[in-house]
Amino acid sequence: MLPRVLLLSVFALTCAHGEDAVRPLIEHVQTHRDGRAAWSIDFAALGENRADLPIGVFDSGIGGLTVMEAILKLDAFGNDTLRPGADGRADFAGERFIYFGDQANMPYGNYPAKGRENFLRELIMKDAVFLLGTRWRPAPAVAPRFDKPPVKAIVIACNTATAYGLEDIRGALREWKLEVPVIGVVEAGARAVAASLPDDGKPHGVAVLATVGTCATGAYPKAIGRATGMAGKSAPVVVQQGSVELAGAIERGQLQAVIDYARSDVTTLAGTHRRAGGPPIDTVVLGCTHFPLAKAELAEAFRLAHGVDATAVAENVSFIDPADSTARELFRELARARLRRKSDTAAPRAQFFLSVPNPASPEAKLAADGSLDADYKASREVGRFEVEDTVAIPLTAETLPASSAKLVQSLTAVWQQVQAVRPQP
């Protein structure tokens, strides 16, 4: 009988590389190595000396900018010694970044709910291909350009994308023989949970607040179980709550709606945990990139829940923001791979891109507001690379969607970078 670790590896490889959603895209990239076609990579641009290349970060929309904020502000290591401990300098000083938000195809959580997991996996792989490639457009109706630098590392800032696409991307990189580190927020968050739990032999309750799509995968409970086991600690009891409306209310800046949805979600979660009879919840994972922006409202909701039933929710609840642990893992991975950029530049620099509907696509069906029609989104098939129904264009302070402006402006480090970007000629 094969060892369990080998069996798991074979299973993961089969999921990532079997005759499934991502196989056509993997082969499409292999046969278009000059990067000129849509969703392809210019392998020649990924030279041997990759340290000077930017770091790529992607999400299904602009929510992943909260992870970018954590990366830009991180000061947890010595820049010269690489050892833990702040040195008064941002850990990613001098680095360059490229952020991509697949705004045209969001929300990613809707695809699994409609039985379209395979198409979602292709979308996630396309996000990684865009970051690794050189192809982009200055505007939707403008011809493609091929001068975007490829990236040296990829951060999956979306919890749903990490749950559905992390192993696909890592497997594809192995096939393409590209040594590009990939860091996902779910794994980083799980390791942060394991590190935070006391090694006291007592049972602990961990709550995961995430989107419905992320919860449906079971990615966090599995990752937390693995992480605590590797840390030599007892696995906690994990309870999940999939939120339908909270992220949207946060992005729209609707404070009262945020309060209402936070209390409703936490009340439901506490009730579920009470009926299951586990130990009181004392640790909460903010498993959606938007949720750290509502930490105060969520903390108040848990305080109220404790007042109703102390057997379900502990008096003191600690919050885990996977963004911070993701930033730390990115630093350690770049240091390990010797990919940190040597630069005297004091501040990092970033470029931002969003996907938008392609006005030249004969197949793209649009809603009244100009976005892709919801039914059309859910009806698309994998492997149709001749249908370029969305294109990646720059995000600047001038082109920032009005619905997202308040959220982005609240991220001070990110907003400073966005304001510094000038429209391309």
What's the full length of the chain, in residues? Answer: 425
Q: What's the token pair of residue 87?
A: 């040195």
**Cβ-based neighbours of 402, under 8 Å, separated by 6 or more:** none
Q: How far is Cα 213 from Cα 367, in angstroms, rounded to an integer?
A: 23
Is residue 12 one of the residues assigned to a domain?
no
End-of-domain residue from the set 324, 359, 378 = 324
Whether 55 and 73 share a structural domain: yes
Whether 275 and 372 share a structural domain: no
Is residue 330 one of the residues assigned to a domain?
no
Q: How far is Cα 139 from Cα 151, in angstroms, rounded to an integer?
A: 22
End-of-domain residue from the set 262, 289, 324 = 324
Whether 360 and 304 share a structural domain: no
Q: Are 409 and 415 spatial neighbours (Cβ–Cβ below 8 Å)?
A: yes
Q: How far is Cα 416 from Cα 256, in angstroms, rounded to an integer?
A: 28
Would you give per-residue pLDDT tens digits along the chain (425 residues)?
333 333 333 333 334 334 488 999 999 999 999 999 999 999 999 987 899 999 999 999 888 999 999 999 999 999 999 999 999 999 999 899 999 999 999 888 889 888 999 999 999 999 999 999 999 999 999 999 999 999 999 999 999 999 999 999 999 999 999 999 999 999 999 999 999 999 888 889 999 999 888 999 999 999 999 999 999 999 999 999 999 899 888 888 899 999 999 999 999 999 999 999 889 999 999 999 999 999 999 999 999 999 999 999 999 999 999 999 999 999 999 999 999 997 666 667 899 999 999 999 999 999 998 899 999 999 999 999 999 999 999 998 888 878 788 889 999 999 999 998 876 66
Is residue 11 one of the residues assigned to a domain?
no
The residues facing 22 across adjacent strands are none
Whether 168 and 194 share a structural domain: no
Determine the angle formed by the axes of helices 185-196 and 159-176, rounding to 10 degrees: 120
Whether 347 and 386 share a structural domain: yes
Q: Are 126 and 39 spatial neighbours (Cβ–Cβ below 8 Å)?
A: yes
In which element (H, E) is residue 155 found?
strand 153-156
Is residue 361 one of the residues assigned to a domain?
yes
Residue 196 structural domain: 187-324
pTM above 0.75?
yes
Looking up tokens 């010797």 gives 338
Domains of the chain: total? 2
